[in-house]
DNA sequence: CAGCATCCTTTAAGATACTG
DNA sequence: CAGTATCTTAAAGGATGCTG
């Protein structure tokens, strides 16, 4: 797993949980990807087009990480040409409001 | 500023705010430092002892970043030996509950 | 279409020695 | 005591060409 932002080799469960949270949100495109998936499943190509600035490798990597974290899930349809869809998991949906609420922090600090 | 986790050269104000939020929380010791300051001001040396795993340079750097972000403030007393205290700003205090609520996300994803 | 492999650049993070 | 300066390492992020 990349994008590890360790808080501490923590014994304290609070810090462990925080660590996990940071794992989830602290990747350059993590939140952005999550937001593209909030309402509906998206194909890989769609996501590429929605976030053209991110390179292929990094997008795949971030998607993989989010899948292994359990935030999103991947569904491959055995068709030709191949079709793959990504969507939020139940847990992912569950934390979406909290993630969205993070904007309020930024808004407060953006003011002069 | 280091620890930039850019979401996008964003026109969307939502993403700008999120970017700012990530600036604040996505540093290895950021949240940890903030938590040490939640109740009271702390001297530099105290913080060092409270988080012995972090190097001098990184701690100073993180403190500086948090100051320039407006999350914490630094107060230097003109004494010998020098005394410097760090504490949360009003804004910092204001967002503390939200930051603490981030643990809930981690807790959810830590379960098997 | 979706995604892997490889190589390269940039940035965060850490260790250590020195200073007002 | 509270920093700075310098060097090194580790990791994230990115570009590009190839494949099932």
Tens of pLDDT, residues A26-69: 988 899 899 999 989 999 999 999 998 899 999 999 999 999 99
Nucleotide C6 C1' to residue A56 CA (A)? 14
Residue-wise pLDDT tens digits, A86-103: 999 999 999 999 999 999
Q: What is the mean pLDDT of residues B64-89?
A: 95
Q: How confident is the model at residue A2 (pLDDT cuts 50, 70, 90)?
A: very low
Say which residue, B80 or B91, is predicted with more confidence: B91
* B chain contacts of residue A32, beta-carbon cutoff 8 Å: 7-8, 15
Chain B touched by A64 (CB under 8 Å): no
Nearest residue on chain A to B31, alpha-carbon basis: A7
Q: What does the pLDDT read at residue A6? A: 56
Distance between CA B5 and CA B19 in Å, rounded? 7
- Decide if A21 and B70 are in contact by the 8 Å CB cutoff: no
Please, which residues have CB within 8 angstroms of residue A77's CB and are 6 or more apart in sequence? A83, A84, A85
Q: List domains and CATH numbers for chain B.
A: 6-102 (1.10.10.10)
In whole angstroms, how large is the CA radius of gyration of chain B?
A: 15
Whole-structure pTM value: 0.88
Lowest-pLDDT choice from A3-7, A9-13, A91-95, B63-67: A3-7
pLDDT band at B16 (very low <50, low <70, confident <90, very high): confident
Q: Which long-range contacts (CB under 8 A, 24 or more apart) does B85-92 make?
A: B85/B41, B85/B42, B85/B43, B86/B37, B86/B41, B86/B42, B86/B43, B86/B44, B86/B47, B87/B37, B87/B40, B87/B41, B87/B42, B88/B34, B88/B37, B88/B38, B91/A108, B91/A109, B92/B34, B92/B37
Contact status of B8 with chain A (Cβ, < 8 Å): yes
Average pLDDT over residues B7-24: 78
Average pLDDT over residues B39-60: 94
Picking from A6, A14, A102, the nearest residue to B18 by CB comes out as: A102
* CA A66 and chain centroid, separation: 5
The predicted pLDDT at position B8 comes to 54
Whether the per-residue pLDDT at B74 is higher than 60: the answer is yes
Residues of B in contact with A6 (CB under 8 A): 28
C-beta atoms of B108 and A99 within 8 A:
no
Note whether A24 contacts B: Cβ–Cβ < 8 A. yes
Supply the pLDDT for residue B15: 81
Question: Would you state the pLDDT for residue A11?
Answer: 60
Interchain contact, B21 vs A101, CB within 8 Å: no
Taking CA–CA distances from A53, the nearest residue in chain B reads: B8
Q: Which residues of B touch A95 (CB under 8 A)?
A: 104-105, 108-109
């Amino acid at each position: 797993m990349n994008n590890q932002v360790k808080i501490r080799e923590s014994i304290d469960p609070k810090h462990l949980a925080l660590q996990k949270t940071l794992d989830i949100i602290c990747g350059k495109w993590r939140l952005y990807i999550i937001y593209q998936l909030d309402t509906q499943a998206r194909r890989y190509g769609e996501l590429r087009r929605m976030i053209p600035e991110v390179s292929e490798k990094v997008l795949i990597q971030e998607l993989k990480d989010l899948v292994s974290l359990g935030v999103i899930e991947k569904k491959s349809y055995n068709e030709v040409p191949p079709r793959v869809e990504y969507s939020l998991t139940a847990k992912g949906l569950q934390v979406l409001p909290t993630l969205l609420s993070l904007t309020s922090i930024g808004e407060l600090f953006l003011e002069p």
